[in-house]
Structure 1
Amino acid sequence: MEKKRILFIDDDMTLGTIVALALNEAGYETHYQTSLTAITSVINELNPHLLLLDVEIGKDDGIDKALRLKALAPDIPILFVSSHIESSEVARALRAGAVAYLKKPFELEELLAYVQRYTSDTFAEIRIGHFTLNPKERLLTTETGEARTLSLSECKLLSLLASHRNEVVTRAEIEDVLWQGEAANEQSLNNFIAHLRKYLQGDKRIDLHTVKGVGYKLVW
């Protein structure tokens, strides 16, 4: 059986060594580094099942980086570990797309439970009302098994909205994910939204709501 690959980034080498050893002993393949250097290349080469990330890595802000990483690899869960315990930091991490935020100091048993949960094969799928989204395959499937392949941009957008269920996602946040700092195409975004509304219309509980002048909110 293929080992689940974990990319762990934390500039605390003492903690990093302990955690990496514990993950390896638990049966995971762990790649540990102390900085965000060449992170894009590392993710492309390693294709990890989980990104374990500190919030403050040297002078870099892991949360700011997370949003771009989610655009690069929307199907890879991000789990933050940090000594920053402020609720505002936790909220900021979750808004950036993190699946969880583990506060330091933590027990290794607790960390391993999180890792097991977010590397399980079932976690790769996102439930949206009567639909199931598989970001890795870009498949949106109905309860009856009918599947539709989404474009990469449609999949990124739906994953982002679903990860912020019942919350407003601003146009700026969406544009950052879809165009990664390049000039955004407003008409393309409008088209993506229209497509998603059409795809999801089979479940009357789902509402992809426009928040005028701000962004969008996916409710179900």
Structure 2
Amino acid sequence: MSARILYAEDELSLGKIVKESLQRRGFEVILESDGGKVLSLFRELRPTVCVLDVMLPNRDGFEIAEDIRALDPEVPILFLTAKTQTADLVKGFTLGGNDYIRKPFSLEELIVRIDNVLRRAEKPAAISPADHIRIGKFRFYTNRQLLAHGDTEQKLSYRESELLRLLYEHRDSLIDRKVILELLWGHDGFFNSRNLDVYIARLRVRLREDDQLEILTIKGKGYRFVLG
């Protein structure tokens, strides 16, 4: 069964082009330009993934996402935004967004992002506090801030643990450096930026026993956590 995409876009000319292109790739697409109608469509159609423009008439994408999350905590939500302020990107993640794309975007980028959030949804990151997340050869106990490999255990600091969790939740996707800084440090100042470099280096060392795991630096943008 093809994925059903609920696509909210107020620029109808763009929306129709994107819809037709996605349909040619095998997706089922429901296009809506009025933010006030999106939630009722979600209730009726129960899409596989939601692609929401942030700037919509009547209700914006953030408001819609908050209501969708109240109905369904698992469905992937991807934001499209012309906004470049880090605070807006952080708000999207805080409200439960899984990814975002800055406008203008290429169709290929959109398809890759949709495929990524769908793949991650098949392997949920939500783990009970008593359990662990399997990351390659490692077991990551988030509540204990512990990374285990065989009989070896590594105790993580709070920020190491939160950074690893964030990278894992957005695995195989680019996560903006500024978003990480805002989420983990509260702002993206110079000294916090240097601290982030240190924590990334530490995690790379901690994960080096599994050569299939890579934290890639995307110069000038952020990081991508690749699980092989």
Instruction: Work out the CA distance in 1 between the residues paired with 2:82 and 2:106.
Output: 13
Counterpart for residue 8 of structure 2: 9
Aligned to 2:53: 54
Match of 1:108 in 2: 107
* TM-score w.r.t. length of structure 1: 0.56
One-letter amino acid of the structure 1 residue matched with residue 10 of structure 2: D
Matches of 2:16 and 2:121, distance apart in 1: 29
Which one-letter code corresponds to 2:119 in the other structure? S
One-letter code aligned to 1:64: E
User: Structure 1 residues 105 and 121, CA, compared in 2 at 3 Å: closer, same or farther?
Assistant: closer
SS of the residue 1:37 aligns to = helix
* Equivalent in the alignment of 2:32: 33
Aligned equivalents of 1:97 and 1:65: distance in 2? 11
Q: State the distance in 2 between where 1:117 and 1:123 align.
A: 10
Residue by residue over 1:91-139, the C-alpha shift from the partner in whole angstroms, topping out at 9 and shown as x without a partner, is 111111101110000111000001111123754512536159xxxxxxx
Name the SS for the 1:126 alignment partner: coil
**1:66–1:97 Cα contact (<8 Å) kept:** yes
Residues in 1 aligned to 2:93 and 2:122: alpha-carbon distance in whole angstroms: 17
Aligned to 1:101, the other structure's residue is in SS state strand
Unaligned runs of 5+ in 2: 135-167, 170-182, 185-228
- In 1, the alpha carbon distance for the partners of 2:93 and 2:117 equals 15
Measured after TM superposition, the shift of residue 61 of structure 1 is 2.0
Structure 1 position 65, deviation (Å): 2.4
Aligned residue pairs: how many? 137
**Conservation of the 8 A alpha-carbon contact between 1:75 and 1:124:** no
Change (3 A) 1:121 1:63: closer
Query: Does the CA-based 8 Å contact 1:63-1:96 persist in structure 2?
Result: yes
Q: CA RMSD in A?
A: 2.7
Q: Are the structure 2 counterparts of residues 122 and 79 from structure 1 closer, same or farther at C-alpha, using a change threshold of 3 Å?
A: closer
The amino acid across from 2:124 in the alignment is: E
Q: Among all aligned residue pairs of Structure 1 and Structure 2, give the percentage whose two residues are the same amino acid.
A: 29
Contact 2:2 2:26 in 1 (8 A): yes
2:120 and 2:100 map into 1 onto residues whose CA distance is 21
